[in-house]
Amino acid sequence: MTGKTLTARPKAKADPVPAAETAPAVATPGPTGGKGQNLQDLFLNHLRKNKTPVTMFLVKGVKLQGIVTWFDNFSILLRRDGQSQLVYKHAISTIMPGQQLSVAHFQTGGEENAKKARLLQEVFLSSVRDSGVQVTMFLVNGVMLQGKVASYDLFCMLLEREGYVQLAYKHAVSTIQPAGHVDLTGDWDGEET
């Protein structure tokens, strides 16, 4: 023990820096489109703003269709024929728009958040995405998806196939297998085992 205790109170800074001096140091918004925007927020906001019809597949295989009208960290409000239903995200395996969408809208550079601690899935997903190789993805319910990993973040992946995209939640994915060789050594800064 070092004798220090954890506290929720921040320590006061010795010399406050004037706001004019800190302004240039502020980072410009990254490829996520703004502060706090992750892949699923970008994807769901795009669907909501454009009133794009979607098909949602639940982990148990149930298919839901409608328009995303609202969402938060835990749930999505789906409307169809004037009726709304609340769908919990933990029950969703994939969300597929009813029309083609450009992958460019959803480029997040998922590995940027993991620069501090390179996890195996980060190394794997960034290598698969950068190589552009096709993957076969199996969900926990046995459903098989195929396409290219276009983007990813901590909780989900965007799978692209023939101009169509599909958001797949990682909690619903069991395996991802590339169709060809993917070099995982170039980006690995991990420890030798």
Please name each of the domains of the chain with its CATH number.
39-178 (2.30.30.100)
Is the CB of residue 153 less than 8 Å from the CB of residue 108? yes
Task: Record the tokens describing residue 115, joined without a space.
Answer: 């620069």
Beta strands in the chain (DSSP E): 53-58, 63-71, 75-80, 83-88, 92-97, 134-139, 144-152, 156-161, 164-169, 173-178
Is the CB of residue 118 less than 8 Å from the CB of residue 186? no
pLDDT at 140 over 80: yes
Q: Region 89-93: what's the mean pLDDT?
A: 95
Q: Which among 59, 45, 129, 123 is positioned nearest to 91, based on CA atoms?
A: 59
Share of the chain above pLDDT 70, in %: 72
Q: Is the pTM of this model over 0.95?
A: no
Q: Region 21-38: what's the mean pLDDT?
A: 42
pLDDT at 18 over 80: no
Ranked by mean pLDDT, which of 7-11, 143-147, 185-189 comes out on top? 143-147
Is the CB of residue 80 less than 8 Å from the CB of residue 57? no
DSSP single-letter state for residue 153? -
> Burial level of 38, CB count in 10 A (0-12/13-18/19+)?
middle
Region of poorest pLDDT, from 84-98, 112-126, 151-165, 176-190: 112-126
